[in-house]
Amino acid sequence: MASPSSVATILDPLGFNSPAGRALMVLRPENEAAKWAFSQVVDFIKEQDAQSDDGDLVTDVRSHYAKFMWFSDEQVYDSAVSRFVNHSTIVESPSSPSSLSSSTCSLEEPCPTMIWTGFYFLDSNIKTLHSDSGWLVGRLSKRGVSFAQPTVDILLTASRAGNVARRHAVINFSPETRLATVSLEFGNSAVVNATSLTSKGSVAGCALGQNRIHFGDLMYSLEYTSYCLRPQGQTDLSSHITGIHGDNQPTKEVLQATPTPQTTNVQTIGKYTITGGLTGRGTFGRVRPAVGPDGHKIVAVKTMEARPNRIQYTQEKIALMEFIAQRAQTEKQHNVLTMIESIHIQGRQVDEFHIVLEPYIGFTLSEIPKDTHYTKYELILHDCLRGLAFLHAHGIVHTDIKPENIGLLDFHKNDMNKPARLSSYSRPPRTVILDIDSMEQIPSGQTAIKAAPGSNGTVGFHSPEHEMSEYDGRTDVWALGVSIFKAIFGTFPWSYGTEGNPWRQDRKVVEAREKFHARYEKAVGKVTDHYHDLGEPLCDFLIAAFRFPDSEIASQRRSRPTSAECVDMIVEKSELLKERLAMEAEMAAEATATTPETNYTIQSGHTNKRPAPDSHAQPKKREMEYRHHIVDAISRIDHIDKLGVEKAQIVAE
């Protein structure tokens, strides 16, 4: 129904009993051109009252457009619209005074123009022309009327005025953020807040409670309704998105980072809009969620402050993050948090560095449910090791691996107790190593980093060599072992207690080391006792990760394996991981066959050099080597249980 009754006019047009009571958003005309166009559309719709009821198909067309409109019962006088209409009439017919309704009309004293007021609304319960694409926005097609076929849902204008195309744009909701988006169809242009759309398919997000939109010359405000903020409105929104995209959506933990906007008072950093509060603190800064201008991608913005004596150090950290992002893109590595761009804001006393990172993580290993199935741990461990192997291959040591720095993406908390079923995932879960600004690069010409006790990382996760002598990537393997142990068993494998860190050289550590070795022996024994329920991949890794030369368990004095060696070790023992690698290899082959190579440039304060013409051959070569490695790892059959003797020795001791 296009217009409410006279009683309803007094009530809130967005109230529960009104036609727009379940609207998720409203589109209000703002400038004179849009208000006049809206009134003309109402006139066109009201013509249906004069039509016969004998199979008038044109009436059905008008009824379709009316479904998405609310307008007042009576027209009102608007002086600004009157001046606009009067001016437009004079401009269009400058030599025809008769075109004005009265000889007294002029630019100074315009003819009074009465208009219908109201708005358009988006209700997901009202069927649109194309339910899988959203709400089509555009002008009236006379041909469509003659064929009794509506061409849009939101009819902005009944004439050619306003530079609006028949199918100008589409308004919908992003499955990634659940924010409204505007995408250009056949219109010449559209502007959403400060983002201009000039080509078909270009998209802008609506991250404010009230968004300013231009379709051609017509200006509107697109606002989220109070109903959309309520639980029933969120249910309608979820049903609308699920009807289009199915289960291919982020987890609820990720979606919590982009709640439906309620205000226009938001913070923007560069082209990104902050959508939530503080979600974490890294080694050097605070982290908040944000969305980019397209409204589709959730990112993490890490803000670091630096005084003049720390600016160069911070820039060196950013340069390392930039290097990691470039290599990850080239090598198609997705298990390490990567930098999209950096934004440097100079201050009088303190400079701010905003690091835009992806992906945004919903929860971490520190929040994993206690009843998580061991196969989910296999996936998590596999990804962590692959991420570390990537870093270590480039001479980078993370130095602060712990549960809080292991992000879980597309894992559903309420399903963690169920076995992993790779073929059932619309979005395969993966694990991402976080807090990349804590990383250190092994100095050129060296193979390890000299220990600096207490200067980096988290002591409880440090390997003995991390505190005592020098360390390489294998210190991350130790820390990962502590993290996985803590997640599985709910306790640390050992604690230092009041006696302090047993590995410091600057204190009396005899008692501390004695207590550590006792706790260490119990932890290793606990792992061996759980082979039957945790499986070989997890237990073999934990036993190997805790090796160090000064262990009082003879079999544990062997060299700790590297992260790359650990990847091979757990894949050999896991049918699940073999299946995963096979699926990934198949998808990589399909992607290579269909996707052209593209250059990659980090958006930072300087421009990266383009690669040499033949440099793309190197990534392809590495990819082929990696695939051969995968096939070799899957097909390799090792009849000798390398850790079998080891396990027997541990149990005996």
User: Per-residue pLDDT for 652 more than 60?
Assistant: no
pLDDT at residue 254, rounded to an integer: 94
User: Per-residue pLDDT for 55 more than 90?
Assistant: no
pLDDT at residue 593, rounded to an integer: 79
**What's the CATH superfamily of 363-577+644-652?**
Transferase(Phosphotransferase) domain 1 (1.10.510.10)
Token pair in block for residue 104: 């007294």
- E strands, 65-197, where? 69-71, 76-77, 114-115, 118-122, 135-139, 154-157, 169-173, 180-184, 190-192, 195-197
Cis ω for the linkage preceding 359 (within 30 of 0) = yes
Per residue in 499-545, pLDDT (tens digit) is 677 887 655 678 888 889 999 999 999 999 999 999 999 999 999 99
pTM value surpassing 0.75: yes
pLDDT at residue 111, rounded to an integer: 75
What single string gives the DSSP state of each residue in 8-69? HHHS-TTSTTSTTTT-SEEEEE-SHHHHHHHHHHHHHHHGGGGS-SSS-HHHHHHHHHHTTE
Per residue in 175-209, pLDDT (tens digit) is 999 999 999 999 999 999 999 999 999 999 999 99
Per residue in 549-560, pLDDT (tens digit) is 999 999 999 999
Per residue in 420-469, pLDDT (tens digit) is 999 899 899 999 999 988 899 999 999 999 998 767 778 889 999 998 88
pLDDT at residue 422, rounded to an integer: 94
Instruction: Give the separation between CA 543 and CA 531, rounded to whole angstroms.
Output: 11
pLDDT at residue 58, rounded to an integer: 65
Token pair in block for residue 70: 């609310």
Nearest to 365, CA basis, from 313, 315, 403: 403
Strand order in the sheet with 203-206: 154-157, 135-139, 169-173, 180-184, 203-206
pLDDT at residue 52, rounded to an integer: 45
Q: What is the mean pLDDT of residues 319-328?
A: 96
Exposed, middle or buried: residue 635 (CB in 10 Å: 0-12, 13-18, 19+)? Answer: exposed
Q: Which residue has the higher pLDDT, 586 or 621?
A: 586
Q: Where are the domains of the chain?
A: 24-72+116-245, 267-358, 363-577+644-652
Per-residue b or e along 231-265, where b marks 16 or more CB atoms closer than 10 Å to that residue's CB: eebbebbbebbeeeeeeebbbebbbebbebbeeee
pLDDT at residue 380, rounded to an integer: 98
Token pair in block for residue 581: 């690698």
pLDDT band at 45 (very low <50, low <70, confident <90, very high): very high
pLDDT at residue 281, rounded to an integer: 63
Token pair in block for residue 648: 């027997």
pLDDT at residue 47, rounded to an integer: 81
Neighbours of 330 (CB within 10 A): 16
Instruction: Give the separation between CA 329 and CA 37, rounded to whole angstroms.
Output: 48
For the chain, give the percent of residues with pLDDT over 90: 68
363-577+644-652 and 24-72+116-245 share a CATH fold: no
**List of residues 6+ apart from 366 with CB closer than 8 A:** 402, 403, 404, 406, 487
Instruction: Give the separation between CA 128 and CA 152, rounded to whole angstroms.
Output: 9
What is the assigned CATH class of domain 24-72+116-245?
A: mainly beta
Pairing of strands 154-157, 135-139: parallel
Query: Across the chain, what does the average pLDDT equal?
Result: 86
Are 485 and 571 spatial neighbours (Cβ–Cβ below 8 Å)?
no
Q: In what helix (H) or strand (E) does residue 542 lie, and over which residues does it extend?
A: helix 536-545
**Partners of 561 in the β-ladder:** none
Region of poorest pLDDT, from 146-160, 273-287, 531-545: 273-287
Backbone torsions φ then ψ of 486, nearest 5 degrees: -60, -40
Per residue in 64-113, pLDDT (tens digit) is 999 999 999 999 999 999 999 887 776 555 544 433 444 456 556 667 88
pLDDT at residue 609, rounded to an integer: 38
Per residue in 348-385, pLDDT (tens digit) is 999 999 999 999 999 999 999 999 999 999 999 999 99
- In this structure, what DSSP letter does residue 555 have? G
Token pair in block for residue 76: 């009102």
SS3 label, residue 307? coil
Could you give the C-alpha distances from 302 to 280, 348, 456, in angstroms and in order? 9, 21, 19
Ramachandran area for residue 191 (φ above 0: left; ψ -120 to 50: alpha; else beta):
beta
Residues in the chain: 653
Instruction: Give the separation between CA 324 and CA 218, rounded to whole angstroms.
Output: 45
Neighbours of 552 (CB within 10 A): 14
Could you give the C-alpha distances from 33 to 109, 162, 165, in angstroms and in order? 19, 7, 15
What is the assigned CATH class of domain 267-358?
A: alpha beta
Instruction: Give the separation between CA 573 and CA 374, rounded to whole angstroms.
Output: 14
User: Per-residue pLDDT for 485 more than 90?
Assistant: yes
pLDDT at residue 622, rounded to an integer: 46
User: Per-residue pLDDT for 275 more than 70?
Assistant: yes
pLDDT at residue 243, rounded to an integer: 94
